[in-house]
Structure 1
Amino acid sequence: MLGKLLIALSATAPALAQKAGSFVEAGSTQVSAMMMFLGNEEKVYILDKSEGNAAQINGHPAWASVWDINTHQTELMEIYTNSFCASGMHLPNGSFVTFGGNSAVGVGGATSTDGGIHDTAYGAYDGRKAIRVINPCTSSDDFSSTNCQWYDNPSVLSMQKMRWYSAAEALPNGTVAMIGGFTSGGYVNRNTPNDDPAYEGGGAEPTYEFYPSNGQTPQVLDFMVKTSGLNSYAHSYLMPSGKMLLQANHSTTLWDYETNEETPLPDMPNNVVRVYPASGAAAMMPLTPENNWTPTILFCGGSDMPDEYYGNYSWPHYNTWTHPASKDCQQLTPEPQDGSTPKYVQDDSLPQGRTMGQFITLPDGTMLVINGGANGTAGYANRTLYTETLDEMPFYQSLASDPVGQPAIYNPKAPAGQRWSTAGLGSSSIARLYHSTAILLPDASVLIAGSNPNIDVQTDGVPYPTQYTAEIFYPPYFSASVRPSVSGAPTTLTYGGKAFDLTVAKGSYAGGANAAAANTTVVLARGGFTTHAYNMGQRHLQLNSTYSVNADGSFVLHVAQVPPNPALLTPGPALLFTVVNGIPSNGTMVLVGNGQIATQPTEAVAALPASQTSSNGGSSSGGGSGNDNGSASSAAMAGGAVVASAMGIVAFLTFL
């Protein structure tokens, strides 16, 4: 029996060389991975726009699939509405939801003759108001069951407004805010001349609404009017105060979504645009006890093209692929705890300019930037103002050129001038431009997929064809000969409350036990919903911890719960990693919060025991990876102190 099992495993498990810094092919996604998210420890879910993929499901081209982490095999899934350039977010119970998209389109991106409601060639339905929900399943579940499939029925569940390229951000109670968007396709969200910056004659949607709906009529957000044109997928980050940072075009604001009041912050320096189609990399830097869980946002790359170059809905007013992408990087701490005025701070420049690069925050606290191009912007077109026919376009429909195959890694703890490195990092030979994606996997590697800078599927005869080949990138910590083996991980975490223990096995780390324990962190990594070089909802939060070293060389980590402010890490799924000497364990999926869309229970922070070394566990001694008493400032912990236990997970259909 054991022999048969081993044979079966060898037949299905991919034999990959896990060489640090390398890219390894990891199967076919069957649909181009325009959107992607980690559903659980086994599955990555993928969405594409409505287009002519060769893979068929129920008599039409497939636009959704699920990729198995263990086997690298892909199973097709059914969705009905066009999810082209949708937004997405996690829910408190571990489900995921996507919002909006484009009208029904068919061959060559043509809008259906009924005004975009239903395309008969490809079978897609209008996705502009769609809300699609899925409860991720594992291999032991019945994938044919309704519970494991996308719920996609706009006649039952939909938004109040059409939203294409809208932002999505989770709130402290698990509700999701949907912000702005177009009402149909286009390059940038404006006409020429821009006489109606709010609505663009019906092309723009400057309002916001919530899921689940609170019954409020969508209100106009002034920030979306101010940033007219360059506000697609506005960067949005919930702050500890409960307000939301918004950044688009050159503007920045803190927005109170409950009162619809804004506090303007400084403009983005150096005239660099970071949102689509300039598509700079942006992410919240790690939240740690050291920085008292104070959010700082890092923006890198994008484009400093003059405003007029972006043109309008139809096409750019410049040959974008000739304009170098920006190297500029800026930091912003929107809510400084010392009460100072927020300001942008110049950071180390990228090793090379990059558009459509995206940040993946790694478990060791470094930030990988991957994918993208050295010139131009995201998007595609059949012409520009100066190149009037598709035959003259040098890169077919792509508005970018010169793919950047080598990633780079940013170390927030390194001194200024030394934060970026490409040492030991290989390069991918696959162009990852418009519509490419990347997501952190449970083994701490990174899945890369997608890229299709074309209106429809183009697999031959174009410089940058539609891509179905997935790759895995192995960060530098894969050079370690041993990875931490950790037991005791919980399945749920609360906001404050009683600490929990993790045990790191002897022999699963390098060096002495005392030194290893003193150089160990426990982190929550949420990969988010990745699309268009942006991971919506991505967070990295280090939990406070101390340790006790055992005589046998194992050690126990005493770990605090999540700080009792759900605005720091909103309720929902995350991977729990233990990182010893910079080497992460495999991640375990946990649910943060009570699994419900509701005000989250919070408790006082439990005190942690002092760290204890062992007399025969090595020569190192002293403190844990955080504050021994597990304390944190009142500013970071604001949000109430309701004492309650974690509640059961609700099925996703209760959110409909």
Structure 2
Amino acid sequence: MSLRLLAASIFLAALDGVLAQSPGSFVQAGSTQVSAMMMFLGNEEKVYILDKTEGNAAQIDGHPAWGSVWDINTHQATVMSVLTNTFCASGMHLPNGSYTTFGGNGAISAGSGPPSSPNYDSTYGDYDGTKSIRILNPCTSSDDFSSPECQWFDNPAVLSMQKQRWYSAAEALADGSIVLIGGFRNGGYVNRNMPNTDPTYEGGEQYGGAEPTFEFFPSKGDATVMTFMTTTSGLNAYAHTYLMPSGKMLVQANISTILWDYTSNTEYPLPDMPKNVARVYPASGAVAMLPLTPANNYTPTVLFCGGSDMPADYYGNYSWPFWNTWTYPASTDCQRLTPEPQDGSSPAYEQDDDMLEGRTMGQFITLPDGTMLVINGALNGTAGFSNQTLYTPSIDQMPYYQSLASGPVGTPAIYNPSAPKGSRWSNAGLGSSNIARMYHSSAMLLPDASVLVAGSNPNLDVNLNAVYPTQYAAEIFYPPYFSGVRPKPTGMPKTLSYGGSYFDITVPSGSYSGSNANDAAANTTVVLSRGGFTTHAMNMGQRHLQLNNTYTVNSDGSFVLHVSQAPPNPNILTPGPALLFVVVAGVPSNGTMVIVGNGQVGTQPISVAATLPENVKSSSVSGKSNSAWSAHKGAVIGAIVGGVAVIGILGALISICISRRRRHQTPSATYPMGSVGGVTGKGYPRHSDSSAFVPLQQDNPSMAWNASTTSLQPHSPYRDAH
């Protein structure tokens, strides 16, 4: 490398800390090793990633890996052993901060071919995952990652569901247990036959492809048929589920909506989705609950955006769509629904601002400032992949290979739920990614309030040469608030209760934007943010809850926040992990991981919320200079000046070196300059004969074997469209 290039590289390195977190930008963040179909934040250091079983180059135990852990600080991923096929599983947090995933696909071989034995494939090393319950206890860098306590527990012979579930819904409950709803028993684009003569089972109770039941983890009895799964037959994969303050649950699929009492299995019909827009897989709209705040009295409202109004018949059946889906524009429509209005009115969908562009597979990430980022997805088509459609009968004729969508959307947008109608969407100042984040993309809020973006593989197996190839590259998106001074609160707790005594957090002098501590304190919120378990453009369990607080401003410019515990109703925010942020004038601190509740499955202790002190302002802080902003500007200027100084010094050295070289070189002397430098396949039958199950080399003495919940039922063939 030449000295001038060296000088330039040092200059860029000096600026790296300033430019890396430029507001609105995407920054490369290493490789995830496996394509990030599923993802969740384990703790303040680690993000855990799951892929479907496929031919990844990353290996573990002599076969392709489909699990990894990504380090937030180093941006390095390490592969992890997962034994069963996690293809299109669901997942949810547990009260102690662990995560669990449910179901998936049967054992497969290369190109999704048949396994070498009914429940196990020796090529890819995967076991049947259709009934699996996998549990992971997130570890930190100080832990021994080789220890079993830091690895996935994955053994269906010890822990499994009653039913096979692929694309099932999962929703946490007030006692920390989880309800699992519906799904497929075997694969396909949508879970219905044509004609649809058996909307409940799609082929009979024993051999049908649809799973119309619900069950609980830990178990609370036999799996029970849910009528809603019949009502929404064909478009109810990954149904949207949201627990309400009353304990009932909002469930939305196809174009139908209900409130559901899961304790009595009673359904209360709500209005249908307007304009016949489907939001569940494979239409895959962006759906999330709006922030829960003291101002709205923690009343949930759910926002449904994008997806597709494609006619019902176009979705076809298990085998493939009956339309060239990539030609069909995604919807721009947005609807709000408040399922339990506090004024006693009847629930009704409310037309909201249209998105800036149509988007399928768009994903909402609720940011700590209360705005909602939508990211990833496509302008046309649906989720899923296939070797053909009804009108394009050959893979050679498919214009985007196996992808059923086209037109990747690289620019995110931000929705402000508190802005007036007509001005809620904006992408001003937001950069674009040049990576197509299509089917099987994911995104997750990180503790520093940035967003990790990863994944994408709209192909049957790994394919690096398709129009939209398998992606391993991770990116970090920095929202607009990265332009501000980040608060540095002290006294952040590690646990929160439901009601009880308030706690204090101190925001030091100058650790916020602006010069007036009274104004800063009055514009500060304390929020709990749960990113959830993300897959298929959904974040199962995602919640944003603002805690009630008052403040006392000190004469030195610091202020103390008096903060309530979580609302004394676990239905509002179920027990488990969340990030606690302090947000001053829209700029969040780094998040601290906390556990809400007692960390156990069971009835949570509830106390009356303590009364907060009155706000106390200071009369002596007006006009105080902001040392943090001065320091921030100083760092920027210092980096630039430092870089220029380095270039200046190196420039002088270059002049000296050139001068010396000219005195000593011969006419023929030269000085070299430095330089800067798919698999396809059809589906095959899957088998699930429990007598042929290959025992897994794991055991957990704390978990009892229950033969009644692990019998596997035969089912119809695995299809080649997903």
- Compute the TM-score of the two structures, normalised by the length of structure 2: 0.83
Alpha-carbon deviation of 1:111? 3.1
Aligned residue in 2 for 1:562:
566
- AA matched with 2:504: D
Deviations 1:324-348 (A, max 9, x none): 0000000000000111000000000
**Within-5 A mapping of 1:5-44:** 17-44=20-47
Q: C-alpha separation between the residues in 1 aligned to 2:419 and 2:702? A: 46
Aligned residue in 1 for 2:587:
583
Alpha-carbon deviation of 1:561? 0.4
Among 393, 415, 422, the alignment partner of 1:417 is: 422
1:507 aligns with 2:510: yes
1:543 aligns with 2:547: yes
Deviations 1:438-493 (A, max 9, x none): 00000000000000000000012x1000000000000000111x210100011100
Q: C-alpha separation between the residues in 2 aligned to 1:654 and 1:177? A: 22
Maintained 8 Å contact 2:116/2:122: no
Q: Closer, same or farther in 2 for the Cα pair 1:395/1:444, shift >3 Å?
A: same
Alpha-carbon deviation of 1:108? 1.1
Aligned residue in 2 for 1:524:
528
Among 77, 80, 84, the alignment partner of 2:80 is: 77
- AA matched with 2:166: W
Maintained 8 Å contact 2:309/2:330: yes
Alpha-carbon deviation of 1:495? 0.2
Q: C-alpha separation between the residues in 2 aligned to 1:177 and 1:102? A: 20
Aligned residue in 1 for 2:183:
181
Aligned residue in 1 for 2:60:
57
Aligned residue in 1 for 2:215:
209
Deviations 1:40-75 (A, max 9, x none): 000000000000000000000000000000000111
- AA matched with 1:292: N
1:444 aligns with 2:449: yes
**Per the alignment, in what secondary structure is the counterpart of residue 54 of structure 1?**
coil
Q: C-alpha separation between the residues in 2 aligned to 1:227 and 1:345? A: 22
Moved over 4 A (4+): 13-16, 652-656
- AA matched with 1:18: Q
**Within-5 A mapping of 1:356-435:** 356-435=361-440
Alpha-carbon deviation of 1:16? 6.5
Q: Closer, same or farther in 2 for the Cα pair 1:335/1:491, shift >3 Å?
A: same
Among 195, 198, 222, the alignment partner of 1:196 is: 198
- AA matched with 1:592: V
Q: C-alpha separation between the residues in 2 aligned to 1:172 and 1:288? A: 19
1:145 aligns with 2:147: yes
Maintained 8 Å contact 1:324/1:376: yes
Aligned residue in 1 for 2:327:
322
Alpha-carbon deviation of 1:217? 1.2
Deviations 1:92-140 (A, max 9, x none): 000000000000111111232544x111221110000000000000000
1:160 aligns with 2:166: no
Q: C-alpha separation between the residues in 1 aligned to 2:418 and 2:702? A: 43
1:307 aligns with 2:312: yes
Maintained 8 Å contact 1:514/1:619: no
Q: Structure 2: state its 5+ residue gaps.
A: 1-12, 625-699, 705-722
> Whose helix proportion is higher, 1 or 2?
2
Deviations 1:174-218 (A, max 9, x none): 00000000011110010111111000111000000000112x110
Q: C-alpha separation between the residues in 2 aligned to 1:497 and 1:398? A: 52
- AA matched with 1:381: S
- AA matched with 1:550: N
1:618 aligns with 2:622: yes
- AA matched with 1:208: F
Q: Closer, same or farther in 2 for the Cα pair 1:479/1:15, shift >3 Å?
A: closer
Q: Closer, same or farther in 2 for the Cα pair 1:655/1:518, shift >3 Å?
A: farther
Maintained 8 Å contact 1:331/1:344: yes
Greater C-alpha Rg: 2
Maintained 8 Å contact 1:105/1:122: yes
Maintained 8 Å contact 1:103/1:111: no
Q: C-alpha separation between the residues in 2 aligned to 1:342 and 1:19? A: 42
Alpha-carbon deviation of 1:617? 2.1
Aligned residue in 2 for 1:172:
174
Alpha-carbon deviation of 1:551? 0.4
Q: Closer, same or farther in 2 for the Cα pair 1:472/1:653, shift >3 Å?
A: farther
Deviations 1:592-628 (A, max 9, x none): 00000000000001000000000112289xxxxxxxx
Q: C-alpha separation between the residues in 2 aligned to 1:654 and 1:141? A: 22
- AA matched with 2:411: Q
Q: C-alpha separation between the residues in 2 aligned to 1:45 and 1:101? A: 17
1:295 aligns with 2:297: no
Alpha-carbon deviation of 1:356? 0.1
Alpha-carbon deviation of 1:653? 8.8
Q: Closer, same or farther in 2 for the Cα pair 1:413/1:530, shift >3 Å?
A: same
Maintained 8 Å contact 1:26/1:472: yes
1:109 aligns with 2:112: yes
Q: C-alpha separation between the residues in 2 aligned to 1:330 and 1:154? A: 40
Q: C-alpha separation between the residues in 2 aligned to 1:463 and 1:617? A: 59
Maintained 8 Å contact 2:159/2:703: no
Q: C-alpha separation between the residues in 2 aligned to 1:121 and 1:75? A: 21
Q: C-alpha separation between the residues in 2 aligned to 1:107 and 1:16? A: 43
**Per the alignment, in what secondary structure is the counterpart of residue 607 of structure 2?**
strand
Maintained 8 Å contact 1:14/1:70: no
Q: C-alpha separation between the residues in 2 aligned to 1:653 and 1:236? A: 33
Alpha-carbon deviation of 1:520? 0.3
- Compute the TM-score of the two structures, normalised by the length of structure 1: 0.92
Aligned residue in 2 for 1:66:
69
- AA matched with 2:327: T
Among 475, 483, 487, the alignment partner of 1:484 is: 487
Maintained 8 Å contact 2:402/2:458: yes
Q: C-alpha separation between the residues in 2 aligned to 1:369 and 1:655? A: 40
Aligned residue in 2 for 1:465:
469
Deviations 1:210-233 (A, max 9, x none): 00112x110000001100000000
- AA matched with 1:547: Y
**Within-5 A mapping of 1:593-612:** 593-612=597-616
Among 206, 220, 223, the alignment partner of 2:225 is: 220
Aligned residue in 1 for 2:138:
136
Higher relative contact order (CA 8 A, sep 6+): 2
**Within-5 A mapping of 1:640-651:** none
Alpha-carbon deviation of 1:510? 1.7
Maintained 8 Å contact 1:296/1:331: yes
Identity of aligned residues (%): 72
Deviations 1:546-593 (A, max 9, x none): 000000000000000000000000000000000000000000000000
Maintained 8 Å contact 1:404/1:431: yes
Q: Closer, same or farther in 2 for the Cα pair 1:538/1:341, shift >3 Å?
A: same
Aligned residue in 2 for 1:274:
279
Q: C-alpha separation between the residues in 2 aligned to 1:158 and 1:361? A: 32
**Per the alignment, in what secondary structure is the counterpart of residue 542 of structure 1?**
strand
Maintained 8 Å contact 2:158/2:703: no
Maintained 8 Å contact 1:212/1:655: no
Q: Closer, same or farther in 2 for the Cα pair 1:552/1:440, shift >3 Å?
A: same
